[in-house]
Amino acid sequence: MTTDSLLLSDGFQRLYCDAAVFDPFSMQHPISFRSVLPFQPEDPVMDDPHLIGAEEAHLADQNGLTRREVLEAYARCGLLPEAEADQMKSVIDDFEADFFDLMGLIYANAGMFICALRWYRELIAELEKPRPNRRAGLDSEDVHASVGYCLYSLGLYAEAISWTKSCIGPDSITDMACQALMQYEAQLAGGRILAIERAAARTRYTVSALDPAQASQNTPRLITAMTEYALLQKSYIGWAGLNVPAPQMFYIDWVGNDAPAPGIPPEGYPFKFDADVSDLPRHKMNLLFATCGQADALVESGHIAEARRLLYEAALLEPAAGFVRDRINTLR
């Protein structure tokens, strides 16, 4: 049902329409979700008294019995196939606060994104509590990426961008964009990234190419682009005086495709191989799509220059994204 088909019950409003649930949504990422409420007429909801009662009972007392009752209510309302509900009930004792993640996922799969956010918020609140004995596996970025997806799906592009950037952090955003740019340039040169090494704020890329000498002519342009992007994401403070340039942050070594993989570095070598080159794909996709959505909205309101700026930022984050380049070409 949608919210224009009937008045929302008192139980539903008590559980899902409390503005205090969405603002603040997170203490670590103080992004206001004020715009999430109120429900719009087209927003799908499941205002079932037995379901609401089961969810309120679980919120008040989290245990295996209340979790089981929530799953049974989901199956009865058609939010979850009975076979899946039975399978989850067989491992009900394995759940802790991550059951809220499951509740959010079930609502998100049904397109009820505001309801999904309500339960993701409960898990995030649990994650942000200082508990040294918390079970391993709860501290996952999955729920934060799920929140970003819900915001994007609700058309709250500005909130989705702010939330995702806050969750990723400026260093990881820079790493994602620079790695994507280097991978794109390497493919154009007929090669690939062989290694990424780091030393404090400096990053060294070892990249193969069919013609390393020719590819190396692009090094100044690439270093300039990556440095400018990095400085946009975080402030550089130099105490030496005004107009002092930032230290060199990026190094690129071009090698032939037949070159051996980088080996163990000699003693005293300042760089260390990057052990985790994950590009946080869900956050990245949320950021790309939300940026394009916000750019489209800016174009409709006549703010072409700001839309173009956002799209160029998205293109640097993922140079091979055709849907971003198509938008840029349309604005030229």
The dihedral through the CA atoms of 298, 302, 303, 304 has a sign that is positive
Side-chain half-sphere of 312: how many Cα atoms within 13 Å? 12
Amino acid at 258: D
Q: What is the largest CA-CA distance in the chain?
A: 72
End-of-domain residue from the set 86, 121, 155: 155
Burial track 164-195 (b if 16+ CB lie within 10 A, e otherwise): bbbbbeeebbbbbbbbbbbbebbeebebebbb
Residue 167's φ and ψ, nearest 5 degrees, are: -70, -40
Same domain, 188 and 311: no
Same domain, 240 and 304: no
End-of-domain residue from the set 232, 251, 273: 273
Same domain, 269 and 285: no
Same domain, 149 and 176: no
User: Mean of the pLDDT values across residues 203-212?
Assistant: 89
- Asked if residue 163 belongs to a domain, the reply is no
Which pLDDT score, from 0 to 100, does residue 78 have? Answer: 95
Which pLDDT score, from 0 to 100, does residue 286 have? Answer: 93
Instruction: Strand 193-199: give its sheet, edge to edge.
Output: 250-256, 202-209, 193-199, 272-273
Same domain, 40 and 146: yes
Same domain, 57 and 112: yes
Q: Is the pLDDT of residue 2 over 90?
A: no
End-of-domain residue from the set 273, 293, 309: 273
Smallest CA-to-CA distance from 286 within 105, 183, 147, 179 is with 147
| Structural domain count of the chain | 3
Look over the chain and give the mean of its residue pLDDT values, rounded to a whole number: 84
Same domain, 51 and 143: yes
Rounded to whole angstroms, how far apart are CA atoms 85 and 62?
Answer: 18
Rounded to whole angstroms, how far apart are CA atoms 318 and 240?
Answer: 35
pLDDT in tens, 292-323: 999 999 999 999 999 999 998 888 788 878 89
The answer to whether the beta carbons of residues 142 and 150 sit under 8 Å apart is no
Side-chain half-sphere of 25: how many Cα atoms within 13 Å? 28
The answer to whether the beta carbons of residues 161 and 176 sit under 8 Å apart is no
User: Mean of the pLDDT values across residues 165-178?
Assistant: 80
Rounded to whole angstroms, how far apart are CA atoms 70 and 51?
Answer: 7
Same domain, 295 and 207: no
Same domain, 211 and 228: yes
User: Mean of the pLDDT values across residues 137-147?
Assistant: 72
The answer to whether the beta carbons of residues 228 and 246 sit under 8 Å apart is no
List the domain range (segments joined by +) for residue 217.
Answer: 170-273
Same domain, 320 and 225: no
Alpha-carbon separation of residue 269 from 41, 264, 265 (angstroms): 62, 10, 6
- Asked if residue 3 belongs to a domain, the reply is no
pLDDT in tens, 90-139: 888 888 888 999 999 999 999 999 999 999 999 998 888 876 555 444 44
User: Mean of the pLDDT values across residues 269-283?
Assistant: 63
- Asked if residue 2 belongs to a domain, the reply is no
The answer to whether the beta carbons of residues 123 and 98 sit under 8 Å apart is yes
Same domain, 174 and 212: yes
Smallest CA-to-CA distance from 99 within 80, 77, 122 is with 122
- Asked if residue 73 belongs to a domain, the reply is yes
At residue 237 the predicted structure's pLDDT band, cuts being 50, 70 and 90, is: very low
The answer to whether the beta carbons of residues 104 and 116 sit under 8 Å apart is yes
User: Residue 155 has what DSSP assignment?
Assistant: T
Same domain, 104 and 233: no
